[in-house]
Amino acid sequence: MALPGLALVEQSLITGFLAGSLYGLLALGLSLSWGLLKLVNIGHFAMALLSAYLTWYFGTELGIPAWWAGAIIVPVFFVYGIALHWVFVRFRVSEMSSMLITFALAIIVESLIQTIWTADFRRYTTELANQSFLIGGLYIPKLNLLACAVAALLAIGTWAWLRYTYVGKALRACAEDTPIASAFGINHKTLTYLLSGICAAYAGIAGVFIALIGTLAPNEIWTWIGVVFAVVIIGRLGNPIGALLGGILIGVCEALTQSAVNPAWAPLVSFSVLILLLLVKPKWI
């Protein structure tokens, strides 16, 4: 194993940073629903992948550009999020049961994708896909940069929304103590539906970028779980900016491992970070 050169390290820092912001984007909806709704949504990954497949399908088979595909997918996912939350409310699903149900949903979506589009790898090639900015000898792919910008925009926007608007404050109050918040006149139910819809919409947005940037395979769902949940926990539940920063941290660590050791070991990085974190037990866990 040779030590990578400085340029390689710099390049992998950039690649990791950009890939990590995509993790952050994926983690965003998950972190919000776990932190503020007390529902652990394993199905989030499946929905993101479904959105990615739909984007790819619209683009390659129907000739609908990715941006228009997103404009169709995101509202539909928003409605799905509301419907899912209706089920959770209707059956008074606990935090643990929510994991089981969404785990089963993930399996259903995986089977669906596999049945419709087979288990073959899919790749969505667009004109933008191979374009990069070349700055100081380092390549910055345009699409990744765009994904990073969107992730940052959504994370900061969501953070500001939670912090400064009435609706955001009400949501945080409900997460803290629902009965008390309700006693102060907060319409808890409506807010949770809204948030659940937003989380699902975020999965849709993440999916569009996953389709544009990555290679698609049905079992991708399971490789994300370890990584993105680590991101959510590192970034602190319900904290949008934390999710983004956690994503970037994991992304950079993975990229460094890939360039220094062996790409195959990358999945172990987030897991090791997570275990380390649990052993040290910082205050926010």
Partner 1 sequence: MDLTGNRFANYAGLAVLGAALIAVPALDLPAFYIAFFYVLFHWISLATSWAILSGFAGYWSFGHAAFFGTGVYTTATFAAKLGVPFLLTIPIAALFAAALGAGVGFVVFRLQRLRGELFALITISVTFVLATIVSNTPIDGGLGVYLIAVKVPEVFGSPTSTFYLLGLLLAAISVWTAWKISRSKLGLGLFAIHDDEDVAEAKGVPTFRYKILAFAISSGIAGAVGSVYALYVSYVTVGDTFDVTVIMYPVVMTIFGGARHWLGPAFGAVVVETALYTAASGPDASIGRAVVALVLILVVLLLPSGVMPSIVRLWQSVFPLRRETPRAVAPPAMVPAKAQAAGSAAAPAALNGTVLACTDVRKSFGGVQALRGVSLDVKRGEILGLVGPNGSGKSTLINMITGHYPLDQGTIVFDGAPIQHLSAHRIAELGIARSYQIPRPFNRLTVRANVALAGMFGAGDLHNDTEIYGQAQHWMEFAGIAGRANDFPPQLNLHERKFLELARALAARPRVLCLDEVLSGLNHTEIDAALHLIRNIREGGTSIVFVEHLMRAVVELSDRVAVLNEGELIAVGTPQETMRDPHVVRVYLGEPHAA
- For partner 1, the binding residues (CB under 8 A) are 34, 40, 42, 87, 91, 93, 95-97, 99-101, 103-105, 107-108, 110-112, 114-115, 222-223, 225-226, 229-230, 233, 237, 262, 264-265, 267-268, 271, 274-275, 278-279, 281, 285
Q: How far apart are CA 48 and CA 51, in angstroms?
A: 5
CB contact set of 71 (below 8 Å; sequence gap of 6+) = none
State which residue, 46 or 148, has the beta carbon closest to partner 1.
46
Backbone angles phi, psi at 131, to 5 degrees: -90, 140
State which residue, 129 or 261, has the beta carbon closest to partner 1.
261
Helix, strand and coil in the chain, % to nearest 5: 80, 5, 20
State which residue, 11 or 33, has the beta carbon closest to partner 1.
33
Nearest approach, Cβ of 182 to partner 1 (angstroms)? 20
Nearest approach, Cβ of 215 to partner 1 (angstroms)? 17
Nearest approach, Cβ of 41 to partner 1 (angstroms)? 11
Nearest approach, Cβ of 264 to partner 1 (angstroms)? 5
Q: How far apart are CA 235 and CA 203, in angstroms?
A: 18
| Under 8 Å between Cβ of 171 and 19 | no
**Per-residue tokens: 195:** 């948030």
State which residue, 6 or 264, has the beta carbon closest to partner 1.
264
State which residue, 214 or 226, has the beta carbon closest to partner 1.
226
Backbone angles phi, psi at 69, to 5 degrees: -60, -45
CB contact set of 208 (below 8 Å; sequence gap of 6+) = 51, 52, 55, 66, 69, 70, 73
Q: CA 108, 109, 114: angle at the middle one, nearest 5?
A: 100
Nearest approach, Cβ of 32 to partner 1 (angstroms)? 15
Stated as kind and residue range, the H or E segment containing 87 is helix 66-90
State which residue, 28 or 228, has the beta carbon closest to partner 1.
228
Nearest approach, Cβ of 13 to partner 1 (angstroms)? 23
Provide the CA 70 distance to its chain's centre, in angstroms: 15
